[in-house]
Amino acid sequence: MHIDFIEVANFRKLLAVRIDISKTSTIFVGANNSGKTSAMVALRRFLVDHGNFSINDFTLCHWTTIDAVGKAWEEEADGTGAPDFDWGSVVPFLDVWLQVPEKQLHLAQKILPTLDWDGSAIGVRLRYEPKKLEDFKREYLASRSAAKAVMATAAIAPGEGTEPFSLWPKSMIEFLSRRLRAMFEVKAYLLDPAKLEDPGNGEAKPQSLSVDSEALSSDPFKGLIRIDEISAQRGLGWNTSTGSGDEDQGDSSARPSKRLSTQLRGYYAQHLDPFDQPEEKDLQALQALHSARVQFGRQLSNSFEAALQELEAIGYPGLTDPKLTLTADLRPLDALTHGSAVHYEVPTHLAEGGFINRLPEDSNGLGYQNLVSMVFALMSFRDKWMRVGKASKQPLTEEISVPPLHLVLVEEPEAHLHAQVQQVFITHAYSVLRRHEHLGDKEALRTQMIVSTHSSHLAHEADFASLRYFRRMPVNPVKGSVPVSRVVNLSRIFGTEDETGRFVKRYLKVTHCDLFFADGAILVEGPAERILVPYMVRNRDKYNYLTRCYITWLEIGGSHAHRLRSLLAALGLNTLVITDLDAKWANGSNAIPRRDQDLLTRNQTIKSWAPAEESLDLLLDMKPESLALLDPSGVGVRVAYQQPISTSFGTDTDAEAIANTFEDALVYSNIDFFKTLEGIGLAKKFRDALSAATNLDELASKLHADLAKGDKAELAMTLLESKDLNLLVLPGYIDAGLKWLIEQLKRKEDDVAGKMPSSSIQAFNAAAPAVPEVNP
């Protein structure tokens, strides 16, 4: 048995999304504020802690509708009929779809949709809805009537401005901000597999429930799924306090301090305590404790004898008073109560025999504490599920002693962890959960782990197929719309395991890129661009906006950049591809780029992606709008390659120079700079070429020959060492590309914030050719 997928609707930014759940580990990735935390909180609210919902968990676009229901109730109370309202259209819900093998069918009898079940997925909806609608309606109207009566009695004017004075509650949303948990609860419903629909363009289509649907009378997952959680707030290194629990406080993610000694104490009590239903192997420990208790009891009695005699001298105890005595009651758990119970041994050079330096647990680094704490928590989850040790002798409280499915939620495990340790954790976490004789590779009992992360290191180490990308979507140009998210299953981006899919997965494995957390991407041709262009972006005022954004830089040649097309479209990243013209003759041999020679480009990205043209003459005269592609959601991709440069050199005045690569484009754009650039290698060859050439055509031939044998990365390092680097300017094609990316990111920022009117969006989408949208 395992969870196939979940669908979340009307919960925060998740208006309607489907999230496929891997049979083993699933990793939630995405940029900040993309909905990863919302998904984890939704799982926690519906599966772990039903009592912690707040009005802020309702998607904001429904607030106006909910307020309208309150107004309709008030009008009905005044004699005007109120229409029926389907609360299922606005309240948060979570659909869980399970795959249950036939041999485990008896375990899921209470959630089978029909008696003639055909083996299809089994769905259960958990919906947060009014407990009793009539009680809810009556209390809301009473609260509104009371507020109106007080305002009328006191004859207080409502005031002026956008926030006029009023008493609570002035609206349904304000009423629910205090009374939500008293009025609402989670109810469970069975779903019909026959009505299950696939998502469209990344948007889930959860089935509707009829108003007369009957809720299940008990927890549908009791005895089927054990759920454990490691939250992001683990309280290591500091103490946190919880609130009073008042509903006005809203949602609080604070957790009490969770020291390792506390975890050890809980594990000991659950699985190891010799006092709990002792076995033969516990007798030795119990006998030792008994001897220690007797000896300590005698020592206590002797130590306090004088004090107790002095107490009797003042008249206590009297004839009828109970006499005071001291005894020792030693239990192993008492030793683990103290924070100093857990120590770390410090390696000591040339230490004397038997001497070991130890420090308490809070003296170690937070990263190590966090790693040990999380791994120990996973071990504890596993052993409680499998009823290891003493837990196996505890009386059963459920019909099924070991649920067939163990769901473990881990939120942001990277906190305080070094990059390499993050990779170690995600590599071994699932295996820790399966380290038991009845688990391992066996399928009778399943473990599914869901991890949310902001760490590119952790995502890099995870299997590509396990990644679920949360994509921030622009606001629909409709009044009242709010930013929402969609979820992309990366395992489906490339369909079957074709050559492109294999290349991209392997490429991402070796680049350590942070593509899944970025606002935009810049793909560059080679090491020189990768070294110099980011430096220029950071140190030129006109590119300052890019330093405010989260940009990922990928070094990938023009022959392969187009392979990322499907992935970039699915992620919705505005992308600039900086690549080379790479001129060639018709027979495939390298050529110096010149007009009217029937030359072609060998660059696959230019030929097959944008502008999808091979003729060099046409490429040199390509208009800027032809270099960009936009998908229907407004996400853009632009290719920047060498364009003709107007310059003067030797006998040529205001002539056209045509570069073939980034390096010769730099020379044509900075002739005076390279004439005096100090250095060896290409720097010296460029100086010599500029000194010997008499015109641009001769210079082009010399640069072409030098670049065929030169070290481009060495040239980039030489430029970084130059004291005059501030005088260097980027070639025009890169400058234009960076300005385009800035414009795109600014537009997307306004778009996501809902600032862009619909007319502007339509005009923007009409400004460039469209590329078919990739269906996530």
pLDDT in tens, 326-362: 666 656 656 555 554 555 566 666 656 666 666 555 5
**Cα 629 from Cα 631, distance rounded (Å):** 7
- CA geometry: angle 759, 760, 762, nearest 5 deg: 65
| Cα–Cα distance list, 700 to 12, 343, 695, 696 (Å) | 59, 70, 9, 6
- Residue 754 has a pLDDT of 56
Residue 392 pLDDT: 66
List the one residue out of 581, 570, 644 whose CA is nearest residue 607.
581
pLDDT in tens, 598-627: 999 999 999 999 999 999 999 999 999 999
- 8 Å CB contact between 449 and 463: no
User: What tens digit of pLDDT does each residue of 55-103 get?
Assistant: 999 999 999 999 999 999 998 876 655 568 999 999 999 999 999 998 8
Residue 641 in this model has a pLDDT that exceeds 90: yes
- ∠ CA 520-205-33, nearest 5°, is 30
pTM for this entry: 0.83
pLDDT value, residue 668: 97
For position 609, what pLDDT does the model report?
93
Rounded average pLDDT over 418-422: 83
Tens-place pLDDT, residues 197-233: 999 888 999 999 988 899 999 999 988 999 999 987 6
DSSP state for residue 492 in the 8-state scheme: G
Calculate mean pLDDT across residues 155-183: 80
Distance of CA 89 to the CA centre of its chain: 27
Residue 511 has pLDDT above 90, yes or no: no
How large is the C-alpha radius of gyration of the chain? Answer: 34
Specify the pLDDT at position 349: 64
Spatial neighbors of 472 by CB under 8 A, at least 6 apart, are 30, 31, 33, 34, 35, 483, 485, 572, 752
Give how far Cα 346 sits from Cα of 67, 261, 356, 421, 662, Å.
Answer: 62, 18, 7, 20, 54
Looking at the predicted structure, is the pLDDT value of residue 254 above 70? no
**Cis ω for the linkage preceding 193 (within 30 of 0):** no
User: What's the mean per-residue pLDDT of the chain?
Assistant: 83
